[in-house]
């Protein structure tokens, strides 16, 4: 078997901003002698709800490893617009930090996504990355995704045939990489993603369990307010069983009830957004 980290273009490396995809990026760079081929592109799709720690981490990886990461943001679904006008390339300083791309999409659709209709992933990440590659003139490409060998269900989904222009590559799976390998790698580095495992890249993702969302609001009060506001804008709930306003109210009434760092010490957890927000298609 050849080196799974040697990527032949045209290819898109999907960088989620988590430790696992950063680990993958480092090994791909290493396999290529530190410089990627011109037709291999590293992209980070920012929804505006990624945590500041995630944005800093993406920026630091790019700076320390001397690799260009294209920061992309959704702007419009209008098919009357040219593909390159439906998204915008930004950077660390200009990236949205208050949910602007996500809010634009919710206002356009006039309803909120949820676990069944999870269009936030599809529209804000998958489609934006597709638009970027199409804007460069590619008809087909490899989509390189950071899914580990110990995530078999995600690997199975990612390997299903699709009708898109890309085929998925999973170099971490081919290399047999597990979460333990990723943790060992980052323990030896002099920088890291400054997130606790329960926090995740997307600050209030509705795929997180209710106790995790309580803990997010308890440790950083106000984090869930944007989500509560969007339930008003979208005239619906992200989660059927409860509203984000209720989550906030729960924590304000009994903050000590949710104290204790319930998830901090779990060595099998990772802050990778893919654990909740499946990036298998991009």
Report d(CA 182, CA 213) in Å as an integer: 25
Task: Give me the half-sphere count of Cα atoms (radius 13 Å) on the Cβ side of residue 125.
Answer: 27
pLDDT in the model for residue 279: 39
Mean pLDDT for all residues in the chain: 90
Domain extents in the chain: 11-196
In terms of Cβ atoms closer than 10 Å to its own Cβ (0-12, 13-18, 19+), residue 156 is exposed
pLDDT in the model for residue 278: 45
DSSP 174-228: HTT--HHHHHHHHHTSS------TTT-SBTT-TTS-HHHHHHHHHHSTTTTHHHH
pLDDT in the model for residue 161: 77
Burial profile 23-52: b = 16 or more Cβ within 10 angstroms, e = fewer: bbbbbbbebbeeebeeebbbbbbbbbbbbe
Share of the chain above pLDDT 90, in %: 80
265 token code pair: 């010490």
Residue in the block written with tokens 């791309």: 101
Q: In the chain, how many H helices and how many E strands?
A: 11, 6
SS (H, E, C) 149-170: CCCHHHHHHHCCCCCCCEEEEC
| Average pLDDT value for residue range 66-89 | 98
Question: Considering Cα of 226, then 230, then 231, then 232, what sign does the dihedral take?
Answer: positive
pLDDT in the model for residue 180: 97
**Greater model confidence, 160 or 265:** 160
pLDDT in the model for residue 159: 75
Answer whether 238's CB lies under 8 Å from 221's CB.
no
Rg (CA), the chain: 19
Report d(CA 67, CA 69) in Å as an integer: 6
Q: What does the pLDDT look like over 178-227, one tens digit per residue? A: 999 999 999 999 999 999 877 889 999 999 999 999 999 999 999 999 99
Answer whether residue 77 shows pLDDT above 80: yes
Q: What does the pLDDT look like over 25-65, one tens digit per residue? A: 999 999 999 999 999 999 999 999 999 999 999 999 999 99
Answer whether residue 263 shows pLDDT above 80: no
Answer whether residue 150 shows pLDDT above 80: yes
Share of the chain above pLDDT 70, in %: 90
> Binning pLDDT at 50, 70 and 90, where does residue 1 land?
low
Answer whether residue 271 shows pLDDT above 60: no
Q: What does the pLDDT look like over 132-147, one tens digit per residue? A: 999 999 999 999 999 9
Answer whether 28's CB lies under 8 Å from 144's CB.
yes
Classified by CATH at the fold level, domain 11-196 comes out as: Rossmann fold (3.40.50)
| Average pLDDT value for residue range 225-249 | 97
First to last CA, the chain: 25
């Amino acid at each position: 078997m050849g080196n799974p980290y040697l990527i032949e273009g045209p290819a898109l490396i999907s960088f989620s901003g988590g430790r696992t995809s950063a680990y993958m990026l480092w090994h791909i760079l290493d396999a290529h002698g530190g410089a990627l081929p011109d037709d291999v592109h590293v992209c980070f799709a920012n929804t505006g709800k990624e945590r500041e720690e995630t944005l800093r981490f993406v920026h630091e990886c790019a700076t320390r490893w001397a690799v260009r990461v294209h920061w992309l943001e959704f702007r419009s679904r209008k098919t009357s617009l040219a593909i390159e006008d439906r998204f915008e390339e930004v950077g660390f300083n200009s990236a949205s930090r208050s949910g602007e791309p996500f809010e634009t999409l919710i206002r356009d659709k006039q309803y909120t996504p949820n676990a069944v209709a999870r269009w936030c992933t599809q529209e804000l990440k998958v489609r934006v990355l597709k638009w970027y590659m199409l804007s460069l003139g590619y008809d087909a490409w490899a989509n390189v995704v950071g899914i580990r060998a110990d995530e078999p269900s995600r690997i199975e989904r990612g390997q299903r045939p699709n009708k898109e222009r890309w085929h998925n590559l999973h170099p971490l799976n081919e290399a047999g990489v597990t979460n333990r390998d990723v943790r060992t790698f980052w323990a030896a580095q002099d920088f890291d993603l400054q997130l606790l495992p329960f926090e995740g890249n997307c600050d209030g993702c509705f795929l997180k369990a209710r106790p995790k969302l309580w803990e997010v609001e308890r440790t950083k009060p106000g984090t869930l307010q944007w989500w509560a506001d969007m339930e008003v804008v979208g005239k619906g709930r992200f989660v059927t069983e409860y509203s984000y306003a209720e989550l906030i109210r729960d924590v304000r009434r009994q903050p000590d009830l949710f104290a204790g760092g319930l998830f901090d010490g779990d060595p099998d957890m990772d802050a990778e957004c893919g654990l909740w927000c499946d990036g298998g298609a991009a």
